Amino acid sequence: MRNILKRFLVLVMAAAMVLSGCAAAFGETADSETARIEELVTDFFEFWGNSDYDPMVELCDPKWKSNCENPKNALFNLLANRRALELYIELISENGTGSDGTVTLSVLMDRNDGKEPVQYRMSIHVIKAADGNWYIDPQSLKSYEVITSVQTEAADDTVIRNKLAVFFEGWGTNDLDRMLEVCSPEWKKEQENARRRLFELLGNRTAVDEEILNIEKTETDTVRKAMAFITVDRNDGREPIPYFVSILMKKGEDGFWYVDPESLRSPEPTLNDELAAEAAAETENDSTTEEKAPAR
């Protein structure tokens, strides 16, 4: 989970500080400090998802730990038997001192009460200690806002767009393994060779540009439809062709959103009839395309 989640984080802290007139607080180290905070929070929530309290305590504010008779028990009480499932970091902001900040995030939380997980929005206080490392302020874990159904839909939209960004990044570099990270686990289990099947679906084409237009709801809560324009290089020496695609996103058994690669079989050319005929012929030939090792 960690590797995927870390790729989802949009590092917006430096831009936010410029807009607020606070860019000088971190100066040239803004990006590196943000990356360190990102790693801290991602690690903490990964351990939380696994109910692994010992490493979580190691990531907590040293001053807080020194004031606790039993930090592990104190942390368990603060978390109230909840378990973090899916994390999306929305914003990392510095509080003006250079030694503390706030991480705004949404997280799917299992309350271990037999009910469906609930989407929370949390503001996590992070502290830079005397040793130069960043730590979680556990007291900030107590406060949260339950996200409404409208907010949940917006959060799903963001998560889906981020999953697609990973997929298209892998497609643009012919990195099938990267793409498979965000493909439906259920789909992968059905394939004799998921990597080969994905290559067959792509037909030796490479996505060189994409624009996600919108995310549409469907009749079921576990499926979304992403409408997008993509520019595709057919790797045949000719000019890339723009396509209109409808990509299905499916919620897996683990509650996370994934790409359904089978929905990529029928892209529609967006240009003239001649190009449409070319694309139709190309689609016909896809079934006979032999696999070529992707450039890594």
pLDDT at 280: 52
* Residue in 245, 65, 62 with CA at minimum distance from that of residue 164: 245
What is the model's pLDDT at position 277?
53
> What confidence score (pLDDT) does residue 30 get?
60
Query: Does the domain at residues 152-286 carry the CATH identifier 3.10.450.100?
Result: yes
The pLDDT value recorded for residue 68 is: 94
CATH 3.10.450.100 boundaries in the chain: 152-286
Q: pTM to 2 decimals?
A: 0.47
**CA proximity to 294, closest of 217, 235, 210, 230:** 235
CA-wise closest residue to 178 among 38, 296, 289, 39? 296
Quick one: pLDDT at residue 97? 77
User: Sign of torsion, CA 121 256 8 33?
Assistant: positive
Three-state DSSP string of the chain = CHHHHHHHCCCCHHHHHHHHCCHHHCHHHHHHHHHHHHHHHHHHHHHHHCCCHHHHHHCECHHHHHCCCCHHHHHHHHHCCCEEEEEEEEEEEECCCCCEEEEEEEEEEECCCCCCCEEEEEEEEEEECCCCCEEECHHHHCCCEECCHHHHHHHHHHHHHHHHHHHHHHHHCCCHHHHHHCECHHHHHHCCCHHHHHHHHHCCCEEEEEEEEEEEECCCCCEEEEEEEEEEECCCCCCCEEEEEEEEEEECCCCCEEECHHHHCCCEECCCHHHHHHHHHHHHHHCCCCCCCCCC
Looking at the domain covering 2-147, what would its CATH class be? Answer: alpha beta
Residue 137 CB coordination number (10 Å): 16
Reference 235, options 286, 271, 276, 197; nearest CA is 286
* pLDDT recorded at residue 128: 95
Check residue 221 and give its pLDDT.
83
Please report, in tens digits, the pLDDT of each residue of the chain (296 residues total): 443 333 334 333 333 433 344 433 434 456 788 889 999 999 999 999 999 999 999 999 999 999 999 999 999 999 988 899 888 888 888 777 788 999 988 888 888 888 888 888 889 999 999 999 999 999 999 877 776 554 456 667 888 888 898 899 999 999 999 899 999 999 999 999 999 999 999 988 999 999 999 999 888 888 999 999 999 998 999 999 998 889 999 988 877 889 999 998 765 555 444 544 554 555 455 544 444 444 44
CATH 3.10.450.50 region(s) of the chain? Answer: 2-147
The pLDDT of residue 117 is 83
Report the pLDDT value the prediction gives residue 118, as an integer from 0 to 100.
83
Largest CA distance in the chain: 75
Are residues 245 and 264 in contact, defined by beta-carbon separation less than 8 angstroms? yes
Cα–chain-centroid distance for residue 33? 20
For residues 120 and 64, give the distance between their C-alpha atoms in angstroms, rounded to a whole number: 24
